A = this chain, B = another copy of it.
């Protein structure tokens, strides 16, 4: 469905991805494929305890092992004086970066890095790590979310006080921050309700599940220039992180990104880059550090587990009168859960006059959380969309109709005061409602199962931020396009398409690549669904500069005023002399002899961006004997503004939905009471596989976002949001019972059905 007039040549087509062939035949180089002559191997010693004081570290035996080139601890990173200063300043955010690189006084989660070794072989490095002797004073750990808020809970950070609008709390606490937001008069709203539903939902910490673990290879030149080969969502983020920890000039740090084998927010943060650099500096040799799967699950940044309470009232006619919600998000060992984002996403799709909401950011003895695709959104959406489903059912209204009735639209004020503009919420809900899937008959129970259909509706705001692009014209009419945005989703292709569109070139004349920190301008991480749209704007601006410079050159060559030059359909011409015409390639061929090549450069900071909505429809079958949920049919409808590359858009929607399905049915960190992770591997931490997922039908809705030249919106995050709620609602229709905990494992299904428990 394309609601925009299309007069594009390249935008909206489906060319092969420029990185496809290399990846398919196994020639693409990922983080751990960095090849540096004379490389040595780094290994990190990690805490076996969830909470302990480090009494002493003895690296003597490790250092004495033949073939060991360096052993580093926090002392190599941060002097005790600096640490004391940061503690006095109560600067937990700075301390976080240091302490997560190498723990200082305390370890705060199982897997917390303590020391690292560089040795001739990986085996030697592992042996050496085992020779490091650490004396711990084991402390009681707190692993629950609400448990961490109890007065008698062990404190992770003795100096941390709860921050809120009221200032800092008197007593230290594991609650890093608290906020309350009120809109309208919730009490009055609830008074008007005919129906009120109140429920509590829980979800577990989940991992982004990227297949490629973190890997970094660091090499120092004799003059102190650091080169880092890494797998990341942002080379400049890695640079900023490493230079701040190692106190080196930015221009002495070159970060080169290799291909990224999955990221989903988990590679916004840097986990082994600084350690590799530190080891390499001390060893005076290049050092490669790669994480194992267990290290990846234990020692990186998953997404918060949550406890969310929602109370919603509505009239019999289907009007939501008030909503109250309390969100408890765990942050792991350091503050920073996406609880605010959870609140925003929860209320973004609807126009509700009376709202009261509270949010808690809570530390506990688990890995400090990082971004995961639409950070904080999925559990919050799960909570509100299940409640909405229940209300719709209670008042006997079609659940999409109910959502349409309460939908946000042009001018709706969001919970934190922002105003919705140019959104496609209604269009998406209408498209879902009109889709054959929604009205297809759902067969009754199959022989052994019960079937149900569920829907959920989700929202995510995009991001803009800083992007840089350089376009160089070659004399043969091809152009080299370099951006600073790491390609995690096929953006080399989607960005090249935008350049080709502006320059009136065939796509294969645009060679698209990702620059490193030495040869392209600052670019923020590839995250927040921003790359195609925000870096796209840098690309468009650079392409326009190329055209402007080529027009000027044509004017010089033809000796006519530049104002007379036109560029249309790939042809430079002049109003001053109708006989003069040059194709892009013809003018490109003349550049070397008329003043050298032409380069367009853009360094942008995009401050306005769109928002996007998606509605998912799912049919499930529940085996009443085993509780196994099978997905029968899945349809994802989403407003993408303008699909630059529809196949990639569909791929994003499908991939997001699959990760949402994992969150719904399979995934979750399981801890024992001492804070030991029981499933640090991909056998026990189950990701959905091809066998678990039906074909995901995608429906592209195009409500152009007017502030992007091609109307594009971010795509990647929306589709991970609705699956758990849609599946929970379908399960309810199948079994007549609501499941309020993620993942909805067979055991929990049986429990909900009263078979167990």
Q: How far in angstroms is the closest Cβ of chain B from A617?
A: 38
When the two chains form their complex, are residues A479 and B251 in contact, meaning their CB atoms are under 8 A apart? yes
State whether A521 touches B603 (Cβ < 8 A): no
A157 at the interface (CB under 8 A from B): no
With a CB–CB cut-off of 8 A, which chain B residues contact A595?
A: 603-605
- Rounded to whole angstroms, the CA-CA distance of A221 and B136 in the bound complex is 51
Is B599 a contact of A521 with CB atoms below 8 Å?
yes
Write the chain B residue with the least CB distance to A22: B222
A470 at the interface (CB under 8 A from B): yes
User: Would A604 and B596 be within 8 Å (CB), given that A18-B223, A222-B21 are in contact?
Assistant: yes
Give the chain B neighbours of A36 by CB distance below 8 A: 35
B509–A597 touching, CB < 8 Å: no
Query: A225–B492 Cα gap in the complex (Å)?
Result: 15
| Contact between A509 and B249, CB atoms less than 8 A apart | yes
As a 0/1 sequence over residues 464 to 476 of chain A, the CB contacts with chain B under 8 angstroms (1 = contact) are 0011101010111
Chain B residue at minimum C-beta to C-beta distance from A20: B223
A513 at the interface (CB under 8 A from B): yes
A240 to chain B, nearest CB (A): 8
Least distance between A341 CB and chain B CB atoms (Å): 22
Would A22 and B223 be within 8 Å (CB), given that A243-B476, A250-B475, A476-B250 are in contact? yes
Contacts of A452 in B (CB 8 A): none
Contacts of A250 in B (CB 8 A): 474-476, 478
Nearest residue (CB) in B for A513 is B518
Pick the contact of A519: B222, B466, B468, B470 (CB < 8 A).
B470
Nearest-CB residue, chain B, relative to A25:
B222
A757 in the interface (beta carbon within 8 A): no
A251/B480 in contact, CB under 8 A: yes
Q: Is the CB of A599 within 8 A of B474?
A: no
Q: Chain B residues near A21 (CB, 8 Å)?
A: 221-223
Q: Report the Cα distance A18→B251, complex, angstroms.
A: 13
How near does chain B come to A255, taking the closest CB pair, in angstroms?
12
Nearest-Cβ distance from residue A372 to partner chain B, whole angstroms = 25
A578 contacts the other chain (CB 8 A): no
A599 touching B596, Cβ below 8 Å:
no
Which residues does chain B contribute within 8 Å of A515, judged by CB atoms? 519
Specify which of A252, A475, A476 lies most central, judged by the most chain B CB atoms within 10 Å of its CB: A476
Partner of A522, one of B479, B509, B592: B592
Given A27-B221, A35-B37, A522-B597, residue A252 in contact with residue B478 (CB < 8 A): yes
With A519-B519, A597-B468, A603-B598 as contacts: A510 and B222 at CB distance below 8 Å: no
Quote the shortest CB–CB distance from A249 to chain B (angstroms).
5
Per-residue interface assignment for chain A, residues 1 to 27, with 1 indicating a CB less than 8 Å from any chain B CB and 0 otherwise:
000000000000000001001101101
Q: Is A518 within 8 A of B35, CB to CB?
A: no
Are B597 and A521 within 8 A (Cβ)?
Answer: yes
- By the criterion CB–CB under 8 Å, are B251 and A511 in contact? yes
Which listed residue (B24, B479, B603) contacts A599, Cβ 8 A? B603
Asked if B27 and A222 make an inter-chain contact with CB atoms under 8 angstroms apart, the answer reads: yes
Contact B511 A225 (CB under 8 A): yes
**Does A145 belong to the interface (CB within 8 Å)?**
no
A520 in the interface (beta carbon within 8 A)? yes
Interface membership of A148, Cβ < 8 A: no
Q: Is A703 an interface residue (CB 8 A)?
A: no
Tell me if A750 is interfacial: C-beta within 8 Å of chain B: no
Instruction: Please judge, given known A-B contacts A468-B599, A597-B468, A603-B598, whether A478 and B249 are in contact too, CB under 8 Å.
Output: yes
Tell me, yes or no, whether A601 is within 8 Å of chain B by CB: yes
Q: In the bound complex, how far is the Cα of B284 from the Cα of A25, in angstroms? A: 13
Query: Is the Cβ of A251 less than 8 Å from the Cβ of B521?
Result: no
Does A258 have its Cβ within 8 Å of any Cβ on chain B? no
Q: Verify if A32 is at the interface (C-beta below 8 Å from B).
A: no
Minimum CB distance partner of A225 in chain B: B511
Chain B nearest CB: distance from A627 CB in Å?
46
CB-based contact A601/B603 at 8 Å: no
Residues of B within 8 Å of A517, CB to CB, are: 480
Cβ-based interface call for A482 (8 A): yes
Cα distance A172–B597 when bound, in Å?
A: 40
Contact indicator B596/A605 (Cβ below 8 Å): yes
Shortest CB-to-CB span from A596 to chain B, Å, is 4
CB of A366, distance to nearest CB on chain B (Å):
32
**Binary per-residue interface labels of chain A (598-636) against chain B in the complex, 1 for a CB within 8 Å, 0 otherwise:** 110101110000000000000000000000000000000
Residues of B within 8 A of A468 (CB): 596-597, 599
State the CA gap A518–B520 with chains docked (Å): 11
How long is the Cα–Cα vector from A476 to B244 in the complex, in angstroms?
A: 10
In the complex, chain A residues 516-544 whose Cβ is within 8 Å of any chain B Cβ: 517-522
A21-B222, A482-B518 known; 14 new pairs, CB 8 Å cut-off, are A27-B221, A243-B476, A249-B476, A249-B511, A250-B474, A251-B479, A251-B511, A468-B596, A468-B597, A470-B519, A511-B518, A515-B519, A519-B519, A594-B605
A-B contact pairs, 21 of them (CB 8 A): A18-B223, A22-B223, A27-B222, A33-B37, A243-B476, A249-B511, A250-B474, A251-B476, A251-B478, A251-B479, A251-B510, A466-B592, A466-B596, A472-B520, A521-B596, A521-B599, A522-B596, A595-B604, A595-B605, A596-B603, A601-B601
Q: 4 shortest A-B CB distances, which residue pairs?
A: A251-B511, A251-B478, A250-B474, A519-B519
